[in-house]
Amino acid sequence: MCATPTEEAFQQARKLFLEGLQDFEQGRFDAAEQRFLSSLALLPGRVSTLVNLAATQLKLSRPQDALATAEQVLALEADNADAWFHKASALGQLNRHQEALLGYERLLALGPPGAAEPWLRHGQTLQALDQPERALASYERALAADPGLAQAWSNRGGILREMKRNDEAAEAFRQAITHGADPELHRYYLASVSAQPVPPSAPSHYVETLFDDYAEQFEAHLVGVLGYRAHSTLVRHVSALGRSSFRSTLDLGCGTGLCAPLLKPMTQRLTGVDLSSLMLEKAQALGLYDQLVHAEIADHLKGTDERYDLVTAADVFIYVGDLQAVFAALGRAMAPRGLFCFSAECSSSEAADFELLPSLRYAHSERYLRALAARYGFDLVQLVRAPIREDQREAIQGMYVYLARR
């Protein structure tokens, strides 16, 4: 039988709890966790403290600990809505999405029908389970409860874009901007489904986050599911040009290093550059690169002292529309007669230099690529049209462009 805490212990536990709440509100999550743990040492099993401890552990990206803490609460109060919310959130972070869905459904059954945040999380979980139609309905429930929930508008727009319901997607992205979503990112989304001005490139934080999140399953999905072949097609034609030995090679947007096993045998020194640090970790593990650089590609080209005689960019320019900065920077980073080869998706029209597709990828016109080459001192050696990958079982046509520096 537990001893009843003294008044002094109760007051000290309360003080620690309140200080923990203040730490949490000011983003000092490590300190908040220690306050809550110290409070629980004086007052074990205190539900309000355990609930806030679980929330703190989620902020600290420790979902397994948060799950255990939420379970402690539910053992004491089986219908505690906050504990169900934290449990479902922890399960989601652990990629146990089916269990997370059941947790959110239990929470929604317990709470008021107009709970916006649980419906938002319910929709996000359904998206993770590849159930977009059901997720769309959940986002609509969230927005009925809180029309100002920017994340629900954004997620709703993303699903509608993938469904090719472009007018509805555009309106959702406009609403997201109105209600405080990242304007740069959502103008990029908006341009992919409407006649809005096309930004020159994808936001760098979007690309970095996308590929950090994608790093673990990148190669299996890209090559195994989407039939990606740009890396092998690009390098195969380099060899066919009779240029099989290079002093220094730069792999722009190297990702996990798909090009590295193909490039390494033909070069003395191989450098990779990418925006995603997690992708670079995968590339490092190959042991094939002499140097890996975490940077935006044009910034690296402007700042490097190296003079490369081979520069490759396989499936990189789908995230860069306006290529002038890259071409201009190549002028100082390449050795004379150096070879620059890259892939690009084919634009549906030669009238525009580039377009942003609903897939959120840029496509370029051949006319634009030829004009850039001439303007920035390159001779066109070869241009090959061939598939890059598949999208919904349809081959995506691309151009493989080979330029020699004058």
Same domain, 21 and 153: yes
Q: Which residues of 291-321 are buried (b: 16+ CB within 10 A; e: fewer)?
A: ebbeebbbebbbebeeebbbbbbbbbbbbbb
Which pLDDT score, from 0 to 100, does residue 322 have?
A: 97
Structural domain count of the chain: 2
Domain boundary among 193, 226, 258: 193
- Domain contains 376: yes
- Please give the structure tokens belonging to residue 365: 């016109």
Residue where one domain finishes, among candidates 143, 167, 193 = 193
Which domain CATH number covers 145?
Answer: 1.25.40.10
pLDDT over 90 (residue 81): yes
Domain C-terminal end among 130, 163, 193: 193
Q: Domain check: are 322 and 180 in the same one?
A: no
Mean pLDDT of 29-37: 97
Q: What is the mean pLDDT of residues 282-302?
A: 96
Do residue 137 and residue 57 come from a single domain?
Answer: yes
Residue 332 lies in a domain: yes
Say whether both 273 and 310 belong to one domain: yes
Q: Which domain holds residue 255?
A: 209-405
Residue 165 has phi, psi (to 5 degrees) of -95, 70
The per-residue b/e assignment along 87-117, b for 16 or more CB within 10 angstroms, e otherwise, is bbbbbbbeebbebbbbbbebbbeeeeeebbb
**What does the pLDDT read at residue 3?**
64
Within this chain, do residues 341 and 214 fall inside the same structural domain, yes or no? yes
Structure tokens at 221: 């999905």
Supply the pLDDT for residue 1: 45
For 115-142, the pLDDT digits (tens) are: 899 999 999 999 999 999 999 999 999 9
In this structure, are 177 and 251 located in the same domain?
no
17 belongs to a structural domain: yes
Same domain, 113 and 222: no
265 and 365 in a common domain = yes
**Is residue 1 in some structural domain?**
no
Q: What is the pLDDT of residue 209?
A: 87
CATH number for the domain harbouring residue 244: 3.40.50.150
This prediction has a pTM of: 0.87
In-domain check, residue 176: yes
Shared domain for 239 and 363, answered yes or no, is yes
Alpha helices in 115-253 (DSSP H): 116-128, 132-145, 150-162, 166-178, 183-193, 204-214, 218-219, 230-240
Asked whether residue 203 is assigned to any structural domain, the reply reads no
Chain center to CA of 91: 20
Q: Are 219 and 183 in the same domain?
A: no
49 with 166, same domain: the answer is yes
Mean pLDDT, residues 158-177 taken together: 97
In a domain, residue 103? The reply is yes
165 part of a folded domain: yes
> Per residue in 191-244, pLDDT tens?
999 999 999 999 999 998 888 776 666 656 565 555 678 888 999 999 888 888
Q: Which residues contact 124 (CB under 8 A, 6 or more apart)?
A: 92, 135, 155
Q: Judge if 283 and 165 occupy the same domain.
A: no
DSSP code of residue 182:
-
- Tell me if residue 308 falls in helix, strand or coil: strand
